Every structure is written in structure tokens, then in C-alpha cells.
Amino acid sequence: MNSTPTRQPGTTAREIGDMLERLRNHVPMQRWVVRAGDVLYTIGARFTSLFVPNSGYFKDVILTADGREQVVGLHFKGDWLGFDGIAEGRHGCNAVALDTGEVWSLSYEHLLNASARQPDLLTALHAAMSRQISRDHELMLALATLPADVRVADFLRNWTGSLAERGLRTDKITLPLTRAEVGSYLGMTLESVSRALSRLDGADVIRVDNRFRRDIEIPEVAALTGFIERNGLAAAVR
């Protein structure tokens, strides 16, 4: 049995564009230009709005019992942030920009009112919730079953898949996260992430730029997938 998580079918660039256009046309919003480190909301803040990136990358962060930051979510253009606050009326994490971008702030009340008139908006909202649940399940499965090298390879494959869905280049990427942040997200140390990247480079699956350590070439996503399938299966057999 293959323990490697199967990537769920995602959205396409057209679908993301259509959803953003519907929001622009039917829901009052505030647009923010953000830079790396800017915070959209914090743990315990009252929930009033959902947020949709129009550009840029964002992370969800919680605090562990000993005060360390733990990355628990990553978001791209067209994703939704803030679902954690709906049930209790308070946010359970910090949402932080990873680079320069634009984010749309949508009042939850206004969004629900608009959805009553435009059912497609409610469909888009439910689809976004479903995709987030699927991503969370995939991450939990990866943390529980995959060895370090495969975990990092799977992270890169999912990252390039998200870029491809948005019509962006995937053969050469620049990660907006530090290796420590990647490790936090994958349940690994910075050193383990660095070693895994070096081994993937040595296996000719990726090429890491030693001068600009966030620049990574992925000549063939199929080769990355093959590495994951071979080594994920080997781990399951052991």
C-alpha cells in the first residue's frame, strides 16, 4: 500500500479568476497591500471577516506550549484565510504575509448576505473549506507516514502544483519561506530540511542554488513524483 498522500484535484487559474471576479462584483471589500511580516489577524482576535489573497503568499501560525511558533497553514492567491474563527467567534492562529502582496478583506456578514443573492458565492466558499480540510488531512498523513526526504519532496510537489493551478512558472521557484519555516510546517528541524534538499539535489530530482538558498529548480515534476512514490512505498514496506 502506498503511504504517499494523493494530491486532491485543485482549482484552475480560470476558476480562481472567476471566483475573484464574483467577489469583486458582489461583495463589499477592503483591499490591503501587505509586505513580509504584516499580520492580518492574531490569536484571540474577534472574528468579523474572511481574507482572500489576490497576490502573495501567507502562513498560519500558532504558538506551542513553550512559546515557539508553529506554521500550520500556507495560502496562495485565491485561497481563503480566517475559517478558524467562524465556530468560536475568535481566531485560533496568526495569519502573516510571507512577501509583498494584496489581500481582500470581506465582512463575513456581507459575504453571507451576498451569497443569498448569488448562490455561486456560497458554493465557492464551501469548496474552499473542503479543499482546506483535504490539505490538512494530507499534511497529517505526510507527517505520520513519510520519511524526511519524501516529506520535503512532497512539499515541493504540492507547492509547484499550487503554482501550476494559478498559471505560474513551476520549473524554477523561489520559496518565500525560510528553511526553518518549512521545517516548522513539516515537523522537521532546519538541519533536516537542509539535508533533505541536499539529498534531493544529489539524486538529480531538484537543483538548489547555493548562493540564493530559496531558489530551487525542478526540471521535471514527474521525476519528483517518481521519487515520492518509490521512497514513500519503500518506507511503508519497512
Instruction: Render pLDDT for 37-89 as a digit per residue (tens, 0 to 9).
Output: 999 999 999 999 999 999 999 999 999 888 889 999 999 999 999 999 999 99
Cell of 215: 531558489
Position 11 scores a pLDDT of: 65
Domain residue ranges in the chain: 13-133, 146-237
Whether residue 7 is predicted with pLDDT greater than 70 in this model: the reply is no
Which candidate, 178, 145, 158, places its Cα nearest to that of 61? 178
Whether residue 1 is predicted with pLDDT greater than 80 in this model: the reply is no
Position 96 scores a pLDDT of: 98
Whether residue 213 is predicted with pLDDT greater than 60 in this model: the reply is yes
Instruction: Render pLDDT for 11-35 as a digit per residue (tens, 0 to 9).
Output: 688 899 999 999 999 999 999 999 9
Mean pLDDT of the chain: 91
Position 237 scores a pLDDT of: 38
Whether residue 234 is predicted with pLDDT greater than 90 in this model: the reply is no
Position 209 scores a pLDDT of: 87
CATH class of 146-237: mainly alpha
End-to-end CA distance of the chain: 11
Position 95 scores a pLDDT of: 98
- Report the percent of the chain where pLDDT is more than 70: 93
Phi, psi of 75 (to 5 degrees): -135, 145
Q: State the average pLDDT over residues 204-211.
A: 90
Q: In angstroms, what CA-CA distances link 13 with 60, 77, 144?
A: 23, 10, 31
Position 2 scores a pLDDT of: 37
CATH H superfamily, domain 13-133: Jelly Rolls (2.60.120.10)
Instruction: Render pLDDT for 103-136 as a digit per residue (tens, 0 to 9).
Output: 999 999 999 999 999 999 999 999 999 999 998 9
Whether residue 8 is predicted with pLDDT greater than 80 in this model: the reply is no
Burial 211-238 (b: 16+ CB within 10 A, else e): eeeeebebeebebbbebbeebbeebeee
Would you say 190 and 180 are in contact if contact means Cβ atoms under 8 Å apart? yes
Would you say 77 and 54 are in contact if contact means Cβ atoms under 8 Å apart? yes
